[in-house]
Amino acid sequence: MWNIVTIKGIILVVMFLITFVCSMLPIMFVKHIRETHDSNRRSRYQTLLSLMSCSAGGVFMGTCIMDLFPDVQEQLDVLMDQSFVMSSFPVAEFIVVFGFLLVLAMEQIVLDYKETSLLRGIALYSENTLSTSHETIGACFIHRRSDIIFEGLAVGLQGSIDDVVGLFLVVIFHKGIIAFSLGLNMVQSKLSVSQMLMANMFFCVTSPLGVGIGMGIMEMQASFTTAAISGSLQGIACGTFLYVTFFEVLPHEMNNGENRLLKLLFIIFGFSAVCGVLYLDPDTQHPRCFRQPIPMTPS
């Protein structure tokens, strides 16, 4: 029987390979895509990708709110009880929001840099068109690394094989869609194959790097400090899931007026899938909100 470290190691490799294949698919058919002028075919591809993204958004929403956050809250509550900290301050909620704001700040810094570079490129178009394009693409990859590395970190910090495998499936579903979309964007940008290959390699190591960091933390000698670091990083990762769901996936898809009800259906489907898995989980012995009944005093 494989232990959890072996499972995480296998997942680390599989995550890299699946992401790399998804990002390379558009490049493999680069000539065909560039020469395709069938608007109906392109529209069908775009609709399918959009519906898959909506489903991933629903899965992320369910995973964040129904699974990750309760685990973070429970772990941090236990730590506070062990350290005899008597405070009503919502520590778990604070760390999750901190993770959310951290990724948001990274995005805004990168976007500000990208917009500044774009304005500079317009002003110096004849000299800097190519370099500005490369700077913009590089900024996009830095932004994508900032949130996806936390997704991998969440996988590496899980303490049971079931949690590791379940969260891996959620992350790889979302990352596969993102990788395919990035591959399409690079094809449309008309970069050379070698440039696209280097960019994809740069992108594909993000989640495995996060998994490796999480594994290293979990393998440290068990102590209060280690548990506090693990709980805090899981909270930040939960905030990242929250950001990806409500700032990237859902607004991008729902602001497009096409297939609104179908997109809503796929979001609900993704969320329901997570709820179904959690409800049928054999490890769940009682609801998280379970409390012992208050004994009745005789009147």
Which pLDDT band, with edges at 50, 70 and 90, does 29 fall under? low
Whether residue 290 lies inside any domain: the answer is no
More confident residue, 167 or 194: 167
In this structure, the number of other CB atoms found within 10 A of the CB of residue 77 comes to 13
Q: What is the pLDDT of residue 253?
A: 84
Whether residue 113 lies inside any domain: the answer is yes
Average pLDDT in the chain:
77
Which pLDDT band, with edges at 50, 70 and 90, does 244 fall under? confident
Whether residue 102 lies inside any domain: the answer is yes
pTM score above 0.85 = no
Whether residue 104 lies inside any domain: the answer is yes
More confident residue, 181 or 270: 270
Whether residue 8 lies inside any domain: the answer is yes
Q: What is the pLDDT of residue 35?
A: 57
Q: What is the pLDDT of residue 32?
A: 60
Q: Which of 8-17, 205-214, 226-235, 281-290 has the lowest mean pLDDT?
A: 281-290
Tally of domains within the chain: 1
Q: Mean pLDDT, to the nearest integer, of 98-123?
A: 79
Q: Which of 17-26, 189-198, 265-274 has the lowest mean pLDDT?
A: 189-198
Q: What is the pLDDT of residue 230?
A: 82
Strand ranges (E), the chain: none
Given the structure tokens 């949690």, which residue do they identify?
163
Given the structure tokens 């591809």, which residue do they identify?
45
State how far the Cα of 36 lies from the Cα of 237, in Å rounded to an integer. 40
pLDDT in tens, 123-170: 555 444 444 444 445 545 555 555 677 778 888 888 888 888 888 888
Helix axes 39-62, 161-188, angle to 10 degrees: 150
* Residue 27 near residue 197, CB atoms below 8 Å: yes
Both tokens assigned to 133:
């394009």
More confident residue, 94 or 82: 94
Q: What is the pLDDT of residue 292?
A: 44
Q: What is the pLDDT of residue 36?
A: 58
More confident residue, 130 or 13: 13
Whether residue 119 lies inside any domain: the answer is yes
Q: What is the pLDDT of residue 98?
A: 95
State how far the Cα of 220 lies from the Cα of 233, in Å rounded to an integer. 14
Q: What is the pLDDT of residue 100?
A: 93
Given the structure tokens 């899965």, which residue do they identify?
59
Which pLDDT band, with edges at 50, 70 and 90, does 264 fall under? very high
Q: Mean pLDDT, to the nearest integer, of 38-60?
A: 79
State how far the Cα of 245 lies from the Cα of 99, in Å rounded to an integer. 13
State how far the Cα of 247 lies from the Cα of 159, in Å rounded to an integer. 29
Whether residue 299 lies inside any domain: the answer is no
**What is the domain range of residue 81?**
4-31+47-278
Whether residue 234 lies inside any domain: the answer is yes
DSSP structure string for 18-32: HHHHHHHHHHHTHHH
State how far the Cα of 271 lies from the Cα of 274, in Å rounded to an integer. 5
